[in-house]
Chains A and B, each alone.
Chain A
Amino acid sequence: MKMNVMAYNSGKGKENGHSKGYDFLIALAAQPNAGKTTLFNTLTGKTGYVGNWPGKTVERMEGTFVHHGKIFHVIDLPGIYSLSALTLEEFVSREFIVDEQPHAVVVLLDAEALERSFYFLLQILELMGKVVVAINKYDVAQSKGLHINTELLENELGVPVVTISAIKKTGLGELLDRIVDVAEGRLGRQKEFKIEYGPLEHYINRIESVLAEYKLFEKYPRRWVALRIIEGDIYFIKEIEEKNREAAEAIVEIVKEIKNVYKKDPVELIILYRYEFLNELISKTTEMVRISEKRLIEKLDNILLNPYSGPILSSLILLSMIFLAFIINTGFPLNYIFISLGYESIAEYIEENSLSALISKIFSVIAEYFRDFAATYNIQGWPLDLVIEGIIPGVGSVLTFLPLIFIVNVLMALLEDSGLMSRIAVSFDRLLKKVGLTGKTIFPLTLSLGCNVPGIMGTRILETDEERLSAIILMPLIICQARLFVLLIMVSALFTGAIIQTFVTASIYIISLMLFLLFNKIVSKKVFKQKEEPELIIELSSYHLPSLRVIRWISWERSKSYIIKAGTLIFLFSIILWVLSYFGPSVTQNVNESYGAIIAKTFTPALSMIGIDDWIIPFALMFGWVAKEIFITAIVVATGKINPIEAVASLSLTPLQSYALLILVMFYSPCLAAFVTVFNETRSFRLTLFSAIVSLLIGFTGSISVYWIGRILGYN
C-alpha cells in the first residue's frame, strides 16, 4: 500500500519563519497539571501574551525567546487529555499541528503521572515526528523512587528525551539544544510512528484505502485519520459525509463491521491497545523503587475529602477568599463589623482606603484639575463637559474594576495552582449534583463573584453540554463585584443601621445563590432535557506550593483580557450615556429634558408596579445593563448630586421600595460584557436571548412580588 508519509513529517514551518520575524515555530503540548504554563513562562519570560485562536474563543498563549542566536516563536497549546476532537481545545491543538506545521512540538510529560502522560505523547507521535519529549518534575519523581532510562526511551520512540524541572529551571539548556536539533532536522522521527492495533489493523488498512481512493484529508497522515474515524471522531465523519457520500457509506460499513465483530465501541479497543503498548514501553524503560511514605500534607486530604468536614472547610476557604477580595476592594464587610462595634472612625478609614475609593478619588482629582484649568483659561461648551463628565468617569469606571478582577484572579490562581481547587470541587459535588451540576461548577461560580465574564468562560471545564449551557445561561444571576459596588452604595443610601445594612446585603447574596441553584435544576431538566445526572471526573493533582511567578502571570493575563473586552464596552457606553443625558430636543441642557430622559419616561409605567414613578430609575436601569456600575453613574448624572450615596438617597424611597428596587437592579439583566460572553460561549443567539429573558423575568417578578407581599403585610 502506498503511504502518505509526506503528511506525517512535512514540518518545515508553513512559511519561511523569517518573514514572520522568527526562525523557528515551536508548539508546547501537554496534559493538564504537567507544568506547561510554568515551562512556557520560564522560556518566554515577559514576551508572553494571550491571543485567541483564529475564529475561536479558546485563548492561546504566545511568546518568543532566543537561543544561540535563533529566534523561537512558541505557541502554548491548551492543556488537553487527548487529540480527539471532543472539545474545542483538542480540536484547535491538532489543527494547529497539521496546518501550521511547527518546526518542533515539545511534549511535556509529568514524571509523577508518567503512564497517562505517555498516552498523550503516543497520540502526538502518531500525528507527527518532529517531537522533543521533556519529562517534567523528574527530580520530585526520582525522590519517590522513579528511574527512567532516557536513552532506551529515545531509541524506542525515535525522538529526543530530556528530563527537566520547569520550576527549578534545570535541564532547560539541553531541552533548547534538542529543540534546535529537531527543528533543523538532525533529530526526530522520519518514519511514521506505528502502534500495532492487532486485529484492527485489517480495518485500518481498509479505511486507508478508501481515503486514498477518494483523496480525502490529504493534509493529515492517512493512518492517523483512519484511526480517528474508527474512534468515532465527529469532525472527520461529518466532513466525509459532506464531501463524498460514496466514501462515507463505505467507511460507515467498515466501522459497523468492527462493532458487529467485537460487540464493543471500537474506540475502547484502540485505547486498550495503546495502553498495552505503553505498559510494555514503561516496564522496559523505567524502574520504580517503592518508597512508602505518607507525607504530612497528604493528611489534609483526610479533612478536605471527608463528606462532612470537607464542605465546611471548603466553604471557609472560599468565603475567606471572597471576603478578603471584598475588603481590599470596598472595605465591606469589615467596615460594617467596625460600625456595629462602635468604631466608626476605623470603618471610615477602611472605606476611604479601599481600592475602589482610592481610584475614584484619583479620578475626581483629575476632573477637578480639568475644571480649574478650563476656568483659568475660560474654556466652555460641550467638549469640555464631555471630557469632565463623560470621558474621565468612563475611564475611571473601567479602571476601578481592574484591581477588583485582578485580586479575584490572583486568589483563584493560588487555589488552582496549589491543588486545592480540585478538592474543593469534590466536596461541593454532592450539593451541586442535586441541581444537575457537578462539583467542578464551584470554580466558575467563584470566578463569577468577581466578574461574570471569566465565570462564564470558566464553564469550559464542565464535562457535558447540558451542564455547561445551563450554567452559562444562569451565571448572570451571580452577584459580581460591579453589582456589589452598586449594592453597597444603595444599601448605605437607603437603609439605616449597620445590622440592617449587613442583613440586606447578605440576603441579596443568599437570594442570588438560591436562584442560581433553583433555576439550574429547572433549566437543566426542562430546557436541556438532561436525562442522567452529570458525573464528576477530576484529577486530584498532588499538593504543591504555588509558584508566584505563574500566579502573577496567569492573573495578569486574565485580567488584561477582561479590560480589553469589557473595558472598551464600558467606556464606549459611558460616552453614549453622557451624550444622551447632555443633548435633547431643546437646548436647555437640563437632564430632565434630554433624549435619555424622554426615552426613560416611556418606561415609567413599568416601574409603577413597585410604587416608583420617577423617570430617574428607568433612566439608570436603561444604562445599567451596559455595565452595572453605570446604574449609579446615571443616577449621579440625573440628580446632579456629586456624591453617589447622596444622589441615591435623594430618590427618597421607602425601605420596601428600596428592597424591591434592589432585587430588580441586581437581577434584571446580564451586563453587556456578560451578554456578549454568553453569545461567544454558546454560539447561539437563541440561548443568549433566553439567558437575558430569564434574568429580566426573575428581576421583575422578584421585585414585584417582594413589593406586593410587603404591602399586604402592611409596609409601604
Chain B
Amino acid sequence: MSEDVIPLSSMPENSKGIIEELSGGIGLTRRLMEMGLVPGTEVEVVQNNLGPIIVRIRGITIAIGRGMANQIFVRKVK
C-alpha cells in the first residue's frame, strides 16, 4: 500500500479522500458499504477529534466510531 493511503481516523478535518479499502469485520463492513462507503467513493472529513469521526459522503453525513474508522483506508486527495 502506498504512503498516500492512510486510515480514515488519521485524516485531518476538512480534508478529502477516496476510499481504498475497508478491512473491518464482515457485518460492519457490509453496513458501511450499504450506506455508501464503497471503495472509490469520495469522503470529506467534517470532524475528527476525540469522539466518532464525522464524514460527508454522497450528500449525507455519517458519524463513524473511531475503531471502525481505523479500518477504513483512504487515499488523500490533494
Question: In the assembled complex, which residues on chain A have CB atoms less than 8 Å from the CB atom of B46?
Answer: 301
Which chain B residues lie closer than 8 Å to A464 at the CB level?
27
Interchain CB contact under 8 A, A430 and B59 = no
B49, B51, B58, B65: the one contacting A535 at CB < 8 Å is: B65
CA distance A430 to B63 in the complex (A): 12
Task: Give A424-436 as 1s and 0s: 1 = Cβ < 8 Å from B's Cβ atoms.
Answer: 0111011001000
Chain A hits for B5, CB < 8 A:
none
CA distance A86 to B27 in the complex (A): 9
Contact status B68-A310, CB under 8 Å = no
Across-interface contacts of A115 in B (CB, < 8 A)? 36, 58-59
Chain A positions within 8 Å of B63 at CB level: 305, 422, 425-426, 429, 439, 536-538, 540
A422 CB, nearest partner CB in chain B, Å: 7
Which residue of A307, A534, A537 is within 8 Å of B50 (Cβ)?
Answer: A307
Q: Which of chain A's residues have a CB closer than 8 A to the CB of B62? A: 537-540
Q: Which residues of A contact B33 (CB under 8 A)?
A: 267-268, 271-272, 275
Contact A533 B52 (CB under 8 A): no
B67 touches A116 (CB 8 A): no
B51 touching A119, Cβ below 8 Å: no
Contact A305 B31, CB 8 Å, known A426-B63, A429-B65: no
In the bound complex, do residue A535 and residue B34 qualify as a contact, i.e. CB atoms below 8 Å apart? Answer: no
Interface residue? B26 (CB, 8 A): yes
Task: Assess A429 versus B52: contact at CB under 8 Å? Given A116-B35, A116-B60, A271-B30.
Answer: yes
On chain A, the residues within 8 Å of B41 by CB distance are 275
Residue B22 at the chain A interface, CB threshold 8 Å = yes
Q: Which residues of B contact A533 (CB under 8 A)?
A: 65, 67
Which of A268, A426, A541 is close to B54, meaning CB atoms less than 8 Å apart? A426
Categorize the interface residue count of chain B: 35 or more
Contact A305 B47 (CB under 8 A): yes
Question: Smallest distance from the beta carbon of B72 to chain A beta carbons, Å?
Answer: 11
Q: Please name all residues of chain B whose beta carbon is closer than 8 Å to the beta carbon of A430 when the two chains form the complex.
A: 50-51
B65 touches A438 (CB 8 A): yes
A399: interface (CB < 8 Å): no
Q: Is A572 in contact with chain B by the CB < 8 A criterion? A: no
- On whether the beta carbons of B59 and A272 are closer than 8 Å, the reply is no
| CB contact between A114 and one of B25, B32, B39, B59 (< 8 Å): that residue | B59
Across the interface, do A540 and B61 meet the contact criterion of CB distance under 8 Å? yes
Docked Cα-Cα span, A154 to B16, in Å, equals 33
Q: A81 in the interface, Cβ–Cβ < 8 Å?
A: yes
Contact B31 A81 (CB under 8 A): yes
- A464 and B67 alpha carbons, distance in the complex (Å): 15
| Distance A138 CA – B36 CA, assembled complex (angstroms) | 20
What's the least CB distance linking B67 to chain A, in Å? 5
Residues of A contacting B77 in the complex (Cβ-Cβ under 8 angstroms): none
**Alpha-carbon gap, A86 to B50, bound state (A):** 30
CB contact list, B1-38 vs A, under 8 A: 22, 24-36, 38
Interface string of A174-214 (1 = CB under 8 A from B): 00000000000000000000000000000000000000000
- From B24, B39, B51, B59, give the contact of A307 (CB < 8 A): B51
Separation of A239 and B45 alpha carbons in the complex (Å) = 42
Tell me the dominant secondary structure on chain B's binding face. mixed
* Docked-complex contact B51 and A268, CB < 8 angstroms: no
B residues near A438, Cβ cutoff 8 Å? 65
Most chain A beta carbons < 10 A, residue from B46, B47, B51, B64: B51
Contacting pair A539 B61 (CB below 8 A): yes
Whether the pair A272, B38 counts as a contact (CB closer than 8 A) is: yes
Given A272-B38, A310-B51: A537 and B32 interface contact (C-beta under 8 Å): yes
- A540–B59 alpha-carbon span in the complex (Å): 11
Which of the residues A82, A112, A429, A538 comes within 8 Å of B34, measured between beta carbons? A82
Given contacts A536-B64, A536-B65, A537-B65, contact A113 B51 (CB under 8 A): no
Q: Is A265 an interface residue (CB 8 A)?
A: yes
- A280 in the interface (beta carbon within 8 A): no
B51 surroundings in chain A (CB, below 8 A): 305, 307, 310, 426-427, 429-430
> In the complex, how many angstroms separate the beta carbon of B41 from the nearest chain A beta carbon?
7
With a 10 A CB-CB cut-off, give which of B24, B38, B68 has the most chain A CB atoms: B38
CB-based nearest A residue for B38: A275
User: Which residues of chain B come closer than 8 Å to A81, judged between CB atoms?
Assistant: 31, 34-35
Residues of chain B contacted by A305 (CB below 8 angstroms): 47, 51, 54, 63
Task: Pick the residue among B29, B36, B47, B60 that contacts A268 (CB under 8 A).
Answer: B29
Instruction: Considering the complex, give the chain A residue whose CB is closest to the CB of B26.
Output: A265
A residues 538-579 in Cβ contact with B at 8 Å: 538-542
CB pair B54–A537 under 8 Å, yes or no, is no
* A422 CB contacts on chain B under 8 angstroms: 63
B49 to chain A, nearest CB (A): 5
Task: Answer whether residue A253 sits at the interface, using C-beta atoms and an 8 A cutoff.
Answer: no
Give Cα distance in the complex from A165 to B26, angstroms.
Answer: 37
By a CB distance below 8 angstroms, the chain B residues around A242 are none
How far, in angstroms, from A58 to B32 measured CA to CA in the complex? 24
Q: How near does chain A come to B46, taking the closest CB pair, in angstroms? A: 8
Using Cβ atoms and an 8 Å threshold, which residues of chain A touch B35?
81, 116, 537, 539
Least distance between A471 CB and chain B CB atoms (Å):
16
User: Is residue A293 contacting chain B, with contact meaning CB distance below 8 A?
Assistant: no
Residues of A within 8 A of B31 (CB): 81, 86, 463, 537
CA distance A430 to B64 in the complex (A): 12
Residue among A271, A310, A532 with the most chain B CB within 10 A? A271
CA of A685 to CA of B41, assembled, Å: 45
Q: Which residue of B lies closest to A146 (CB)?
A: B59
When C-beta atoms are compared, the residue in chain B nearest to A422 turns out to be: B63
Q: In the complex, what residues of B have CB within 8 A of residue A539's CB?
A: 35, 60-62
Name the B residues within 8 Å of A307 (CB-CB). 49-51
Given contacts A265-B29, A268-B22, A430-B51, contact A535 B68 (CB under 8 A): yes
Structural contact, B28 and A537, CB atoms closer than 8 A = yes
Measured between C-beta atoms, what is the minimum distance from B26 to chain A in Å?
6
Closest chain A residue, CB of each to CB of B64: A537
CB atoms of A426 and B52 under 8 A apart: yes
A455-503: which have CB < 8 Å to B? Answer: 463-464
Most buried by B among A81, A112, A426: A426
- 6 other contacts beyond A267-B33, A537-B32, with CB at 8 A cut-off? A81-B35, A112-B60, A271-B30, A426-B63, A537-B28, A538-B62
Offer 16 A-B interface pairs, CB within 8 angstroms, sorted by A. Answer: A119-B36, A232-B26, A268-B29, A271-B34, A275-B36, A305-B47, A307-B50, A307-B51, A427-B51, A429-B63, A463-B28, A537-B35, A540-B54, A540-B60, A540-B61, A540-B62
Interface residues of B (CB under 8 A from A): 22, 24-36, 38-41, 46-47, 49-52, 54, 58-65, 67-68
7 closest A-B pairs by beta carbon, nearest first, are A535-B65, A535-B68, A307-B50, A540-B61, A115-B58, A536-B65, A271-B33
